[in-house]
Amino acid sequence: MLDPKTLEDFGAKISALLANSPARDIEKNAKAVISGLLGKLDLVTREEFDVQAQVLARTREKLKELEARIEALEKAGQA
């Protein structure tokens, strides 16, 4: 029967081997390339997007109110 210590050592060696494998390097490089590409894009966070969406909604509401006031003033001026 196998000694648990031997199994632990074997697992540790396999883990170390996989950590230093070319596949791990490829994964790191791919992440770096993707991060670099995304960094060059003009992206905003979800929080920034939500804030701007709220600002836009308030601006649209204010525009509707102003349009209604102008229409009311124009009707009052014609009367």
Q: What is the DSSP letter of 41?
A: S
Q: Per residue in 36-70, pLDDT tens? A: 887 788 888 899 999 999 999 999 999 999 999 99
pLDDT at 26: 77
When pLDDT is cut at 50, 70 and 90, the band that residue 2 belongs to is low
The one-letter amino acid at 29: N
